[in-house]
């Protein structure tokens, strides 16, 4: 059964020191879907997202129990290679964080650290990734200029392109549009729709319209618990749990 799911999370608990931040999370996510994680600030949705590629390992004093499996393979198993996990499960952050390098070097960074050296191959990866992220036409004449000269929205698409260059199959997005203007937001949202044909996307968002617009399934988190997961239109029209209803109708959070 578990083989069929792209991601399978079971009995996941996470502690920051004595703070029990995630309680018995159970979730499955299928390939080529967009899963949205919603909930008020501090509910654990970003923390949960970061358990999927073990970014929480960077924080001192984090303890995790339970299991997270990607393609049936336990992420927290003793034989797991974090480097290859993160190559497979990539991440886009809340604030665009291009490196202080040229646009080209930003995209080529991932392939280079994973061993691609040939200029011709890198050229091809850079172009393909930028095209996939719908940024190629805007930057093709300035590939050798610094990425920090791009607008915020362009920077975020650059970060997505940089991620696509390492050919992951799961994309984790941690409020990727919260620092962007509406037009850039729209571009990133459109992008997720085309990316979903090839990737599995899990997106944390504070913007409920965004979750409703782009996702296939939505999970509602509250105080470290996963309240419910369902098809997005079901969650937003007729949720099972009263707390979900209260949240999406704006009664709290």
Partner 1 sequence: MTSKQIDRIATAVLWLAGILIIALLGWFLIRILGDGLPQLSWKFITSKPQEISAGGGVGPQLFNSFYILFLSLLLSLPIGMGAGIYLAVYAKKNGFTDLIRISVEALSSVPSIVFGLFGYLLFANLFGWKFSILGGACTLALLNLPVLVRVTEEGIRAVPASYWEASLALGSTKWQAIRKVLVPAALPTIITGITLTSGRALGESAILIYTAGLSVSRMFPDFNPMKIGETLSVHLWYVQSEALVPDAKQIAQGSAALLLIVVLVFNLLIGIPSRILQKRLTGGK
Residues that bind partner 1 (CB under 8 A): 53, 55, 58, 60, 83-87, 90-91, 93, 95, 97-101, 109-110, 113-114, 145-149, 159, 162-163, 166
CA distance 138 to 159: 15
Task: Pull the structure tokens for residue 53.
Answer: 């590629």
Beta carbon nearer to partner 1, 107 or 226: 107
CA distance 207 to 230: 17
Report residue 158: phi and psi, to 5°. Answer: -60, -40
Residue 74 to residues 51, 56, 81, Cα–Cα distance (Å): 12, 16, 11
Q: Which C-beta is closer to partner 1: that of 98 or that of 239?
A: 98
CB of 85 to partner 1, least distance (A): 8
Which single residue is written with the structure tokens 């291009």? 98
Q: CB 127 → partner 1: shortest distance, Å?
A: 19
d(CA 222, CA 204): 13
* Least CB distance to partner 1 at residue 91 (A): 4
Q: Which is nearer to partner 1, 76 or 109 (CB)?
A: 109
Shorter beta-carbon distance to partner 1: residue 21 or 49: 49
129 close to 162: Cβ distance less than 8 angstroms: yes
Q: Residue 163 CB, nearest distance to partner 1 (Å)?
A: 7
């Amino acid at each position: 059964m578990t083989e069929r799911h792209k991601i399978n999370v079971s009995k996941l608990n996470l502690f920051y020191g004595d703070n029990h931040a995630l309680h018995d999370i159970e979730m499955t996510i299928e390939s080529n879907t967009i899963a949205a994680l919603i909930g008020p600030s501090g509910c654990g949705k970003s923390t949960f997202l970061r358990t999927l590629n073990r970014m929480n390992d960077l924080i001192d004093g984090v303890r995790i129990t339970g299991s997270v499996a990607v393609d049936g393979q336990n992420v927290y198993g003793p034989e797991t290679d974090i480097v290859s996990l993160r190559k497979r499960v990539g991440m886009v952050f809340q604030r665009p964080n291009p490196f202080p390098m040229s646009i080209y070097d930003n995209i080529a960074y991932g392939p280079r650290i994973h061993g691609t050296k040939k200029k011709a191959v890198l050229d091809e990866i850079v172009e393909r990734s930028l095209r996939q992220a719908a940024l190629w036409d805007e930057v093709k004449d300035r590939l050798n200029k610094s990425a920090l000269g791009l607008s915020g929205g362009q920077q975020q698409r650059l970060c997505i392109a940089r991620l696509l260059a390492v050919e992951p199959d799961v994309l984790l997005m941690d409020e990727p549009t919260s620092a962007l203007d509406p037009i850039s937001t729209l571009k990133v949202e459109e992008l997720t729709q085309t990316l979903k044909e090839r990737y599995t996307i899990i997106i944390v968002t504070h913007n409920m319209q965004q979750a409703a617009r782009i996702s296939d399934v939505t999970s509602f988190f509250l105080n470290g618990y996963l309240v419910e997961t369902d098809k997005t239109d079901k969650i937003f029209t007729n949720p099972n749990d009263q707390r979900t209803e209260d949240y999406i109708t704006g009664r709290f959070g």
